[in-house]
Amino acid sequence: MSRTDANPSGRLPDAFTTPGTASFVDFLHSYAPDLLPRNRPLPAGSSAADLVAPHATTIVAVAYDGGIVMAGDRRATMGSMIASRSIEKVFPADEYSAVGIAGTAGLAIELVRLFQLELEHYEKIEGSLLSLDGKANRLATIIRGQLSMALQGLAVVPLFGGYDLDKHTGRIFSYDVTGGRYEEQDHHAVGSGSVFARGSLKKRWRPGLDEASAVKVAVEALMDAADDDSATGGPDTERSIYPVVAAVGSAGYRRVPDEELASAADGVLAARRAARGGDAQ
């Protein structure tokens, strides 16, 4: 806030009192562009391949009757090393939506902060919530601003989902690094373990799921991804680290508590043991 303090009269600068935009990103762009993550070019000649930054992995989203469930594992990797076993990659975007991120962890978390603030800022200034499509488009704009960094290897790929207050249904949106926005039907996964997670989702998802079964489907998909992808972590019962799972329905965002996830994970393991010949003692 040094710019504000530098104003000789101490008066709020003109940028603050200029009417027009309800977008925090646009305001930052005109007043403090250096705070936007997009305005940080890498030095010429360097590439992100030389750079070792933590990388966040698999996110899955599942639609159920009246909402969506989004789940992310807790692992971040740095090359072949595990950078963090308790990172969180699924966040509330606002009261009725959730955003999960895969890609360069530091940048992704910064983008999520910016996106959350963008939605809240609009809500406070306009006095009303953005539509779910409006929120999805704002996220696309933010991701598009990152294109040059993505081309240098610092890509961020989000997964966005929420409850549409007009259509009374849950919806899921995926993105590519150019800011392309695609609405997904039923379920989707992004990140390094997404190939395995998608396979699992295809077999386990069915129409008319309720919230509890959708949580189970999402947890099982993450466990399948963790099985085959070294960058995805499964539920860690020893340290009680479970995936971050969010359920968004007509009542708003809810983080599913660890006890429910533990029983979902135990249920999956028990079913697999039983299927293998009942050596569950």
Could you say whether residue 137 binds other proteins (CB under 8 A)? no
The Cα 161–Cα 68 span in angstroms is 7
Q: How far is the CB of 196 from other proteins (least distance, A)?
A: 36
Cα 113 → chain centroid? 11
Could you say whether residue 48 binds other proteins (CB under 8 A)? no
The Cα 78–Cα 62 span in angstroms is 28
The Cα 259–Cα 239 span in angstroms is 13
Could you say whether residue 167 binds other proteins (CB under 8 A)? no
Among 6, 9, 43, 166, binds other proteins (CB under 8 A): 9
Among 11, 168, 202, 272, binds other proteins (CB under 8 A): 11
Rule CB under 8 A: which of 82-121 touch other proteins? 113-114, 117, 120-121
Sign of the C-alpha dihedral computed for residues 263, 268, 271 and 276 taken in this order: negative
Q: How far is the CB of 87 from other proteins (least distance, A)?
A: 19
Could you say whether residue 185 binds other proteins (CB under 8 A)? no
**How would you classify the pairing of strands 156-164 and 169-175?**
antiparallel
Could you say whether residue 23 binds other proteins (CB under 8 A)? no
Q: Which of 45, 122, 109, 46 is nearest to 83 (CA)?
A: 109
Could you say whether residue 274 binds other proteins (CB under 8 A)? no
Q: How far is the CB of 121 from other proteins (least distance, A)?
A: 5
Cα 240 → chain centroid? 22
Dihedral of the CA atoms 142, 147, 149, 150 (nearest 10)? 110
Q: How far is the CB of 114 from other proteins (least distance, A)?
A: 7
Contact set with other proteins (CB under 8 A): 1, 4, 9-12, 15-17, 19, 24, 27-28, 31-32, 35, 113-114, 117, 120-121, 124-125, 127-129, 251
